[in-house]
Amino acid sequence: MSGVPNWRGFRVSLDDLVFVGSGLNRPECVLCNAAGNIYTADWRGGVACTRSDGTSELFAGRHPRADLVLRPNGIALRRSGAFLVAQLGADDGGVYELSREGGVRPFLEAIDGRPLEPTNFVYEDALGRVWLTISSRHRPRHLAFRADIADGFIALVDGGGARIVADDIGYTNEVGIDPTGEWLYVNETFGRRLSRFPVRGNGDLGAKEVVAQFGSGTFPDGLTFDVEGGVWITSVVSNRVIRVAPDGTQTLLIEDADPGHLAEVEAAYVAGKMDRPHLEKMTGRRLKNISSLAFGGPDRRTAYLGCLLGDSIASFRAPIAGAAPPHWRYP
């Protein structure tokens, strides 16, 4: 593999992590662009921007409904410089567009007349199509933190409107189209799978294929791609980064987990009793429940890690460049 003769020999030391940004609030999703900006979802009601010169800015707005608060989970950078945010409210979902001036307007609130459940992730591809994920139809969502529940779905918004294109997914999390443009990958967090669907010309998806099944302690959340076709996965709870090679081989690149807590969570998961507190306890030595990953820097070889419980972004140098995301050249 180009520049990386032996993936098994590569491991990130926790002592080599560098933290950027400060004062962030639940930076669950992270994006980078060629300008050197690091964008993160922020529960102060918008998107935080941490710049390469160390300065920062919060693009925040109010939910169109006065009785609700904007709770961005997944975010997408648009060609215009605005953002799409996936609303992960306690009882409400949908996707909203946020301008840098603080304007917020509904992008998608319902499909076929049915209001969207709390919405996990939103992704705009190179063709301008918007994909979004609903992790589960259960309310509250923690009732679906189980291996035997698969009621999440993927929806697509394109020129023909909005429609569900894949259903019965084991807690749908981040999605992304691979660099070939032929496959849509998805993490099934509590199904413990990385799966993919062939993307047809009209945006419909073909039959699902399981790319990787993960074992004890791994709950795949975020994903991104490298230039050699590898998929990089972040796992909540265990603070793991795993690279899945094109042939399905898994390489653990980093882990920061307390064995006792991991065993407790694993036992609860196997018993079908996993709950919110299992995700809200911070037990890593340096990482704070990592949830997403984006490659940035001039050479796209700096990996930035979004997280659920921290107020800054951990980063490390990768031995390979990330593939350029659709928004790489956007402002």
pLDDT tens digits, one per residue of 54-69 = 889 999 999 999 999 9
Q: What is the mean pLDDT of residues 103-129?
A: 98
pLDDT surpasses 60 at 3? no
State the burial class of residue 331 (Cβ atoms within 10 Å of its Cβ: 0-12, 13-18, 19+): middle
pLDDT surpasses 90 at 7? no
Q: How far is CA 233 from the centre of its chain?
A: 9
- Give 246-255 contacts, CB < 8 A, sequence gap 24+: 248/211, 248/212, 249/7, 250/212, 250/214, 251/7, 251/8, 251/10, 252/11, 253/10, 253/11, 253/12, 254/11, 254/12, 254/14, 254/287, 254/316
Position 117 confidence tier, pLDDT thresholds 50, 70, 90: very high
Q: What is the mean pLDDT of residues 64-84?
A: 97
pLDDT surpasses 70 at 4? no
Q: What is the spatial distance between Cα 63 and Cα 88, in angstroms, rounded to a whole number?
A: 12
> What local confidence, expressed as pLDDT, does residue 81 receive?
97
Q: What is the mean pLDDT of residues 117-129?
A: 98
Question: pLDDT digit string (tens) for 226-259?
Answer: 999 999 999 999 999 999 999 999 999 999 999 9
Q: What is the mean pLDDT of residues 75-89?
A: 98
Q: What is the mean pLDDT of residues 133-154?
A: 97
> What local confidence, expressed as pLDDT, does residue 8 receive?
72
> What local confidence, expressed as pLDDT, does residue 53 receive?
85
- The pTM for the full model equals 0.97
pLDDT surpasses 90 at 200? yes
Question: pLDDT digit string (tens) for 282-308?
Answer: 899 999 999 999 999 999 999 999 999
Q: What is the mean pLDDT of residues 196-200?
A: 98
| Residue 173 near residue 186 (C-beta atoms within 8 A) | yes
> What local confidence, expressed as pLDDT, does residue 304 receive?
98
pLDDT surpasses 60 at 5? no
Q: What is the mean pLDDT of residues 199-204?
A: 97
> What local confidence, expressed as pLDDT, does residue 6 receive?
72
Name which of 321, 219, 325, 319 is nearest 16 in CA terms.
Answer: 319
> Whole-number mean pLDDT of the chain?
96
Q: What is the mean pLDDT of residues 17-46?
A: 97
pLDDT surpasses 50 at 1? no
Task: List C-alpha distances in Å: 177 to 97, 125, 224, 287.
Answer: 21, 7, 9, 27
> What local confidence, expressed as pLDDT, does residue 27 receive?
98
Cα torsion angle, 44, 104, 151, 196, sign? negative
